[in-house]
């Protein structure tokens, strides 16, 4: 099991199936004691231009991976609120009502259908933010039923990929859904 080392202390990374509170506690410990944090030997150390503190000079997104869970931050919460506002402005609530209606036929839907287009656009933005480490995956999956939405719009996404010959369309939305067990 991989370990992240703090001076004179080794704390193992909890297993994926570990109790969420124990996994969160591990990372609270690190963020509360960040002044003594040392990067693991295999950590991707990428200088961050203009960083003001020694710790801000490194890209620590390697901590957000499938084996670790970081507690969502207030920045994550702010971003989620902005995304919620954007989704309301674009009418995603009405789009979701359409997509989850019993009369919706996922196999006949296309990206040209406004509700499908809105859902795919929103899901891709959220998936990209999670992929880039800007937004906490756990928070997103707690708030939104990503797998359910992807299951309803994925046939349209796949048709559009085939039509345009571009397999990367909506890949971040799909990856987020798959990471949740879709």
pLDDT digits (tens, 9 = 90+) for 116-168: 999 999 999 999 999 999 999 999 999 999 999 999 999 999 999 999 999 99
Query: What pLDDT score does 72 carry?
Result: 83
Q: Can you give the pLDDT at residue 159?
A: 97
In a domain, 128, yes or no: yes
Please tell me what DSSP assigns to residue 71. Answer: P
Lowest mean pLDDT among 1-5, 112-116, 126-130: 1-5
Domain count, the chain: 2
Last residue of a domain, one of 63, 92, 110: 63
Both tokens of residue 98?
């359409």
pLDDT mean across residues, the chain? 76
Q: Which residues contact 23 (CB under 8 A, 6 or more apart)?
A: 14, 68, 69
Average pLDDT of 20-46?
45
- 13 Cβ contact list (under 8 Å, min separation 6): 1, 2, 3, 4, 26, 67, 68
Q: What is the pLDDT of residue 9?
A: 39
Same domain, yes or no: 56 and 105:
no
Check residue 165 and give its pLDDT. Answer: 96
Q: Are residues 78 and 42 in the same domain?
A: no
Structural domain boundaries, residue 27? 3-63
pLDDT at 40: 53
Give pLDDT tens digits for 58-79: 444 544 444 445 578 889 899 9
């Amino acid at each position: 099991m991989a370990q992240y080392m703090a001076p004179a202390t080794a704390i193992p990374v909890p297993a994926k199936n570990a109790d969420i509170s124990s996994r969160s506690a591990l990372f609270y410990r690190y963020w509360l004691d960040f002044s003594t944090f040392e990067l693991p030997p295999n950590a991707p150390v990428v200088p961050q231009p203009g960083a003001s503190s020694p710790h801000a000079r490194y890209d620590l997104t390697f901590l957000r991976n499938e084996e670790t869970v970081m507690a969502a931050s207030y920045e994550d919460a702010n971003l989620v609120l902005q995304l919620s506002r954007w989704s309301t402005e674009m009418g995603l609530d009405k789009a979701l009502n359409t997509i989850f209606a019993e009369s919706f036929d996922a196999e006949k839907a296309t990206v040209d259908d406004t509700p499908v287009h809105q859902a795919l656009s929103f899901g891709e933005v959220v998936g990209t933010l999670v992929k880039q480490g800007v937004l906490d995956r756990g928070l997103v999956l707690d708030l939104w039923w990503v797998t359910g939405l992807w299951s309803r719009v994925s046939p349209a996404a796949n048709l559009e990929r085939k039509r345009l010959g571009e397999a990367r369309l909506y890949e971040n939305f799909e990856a987020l859904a798959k990471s949740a067990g879709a």
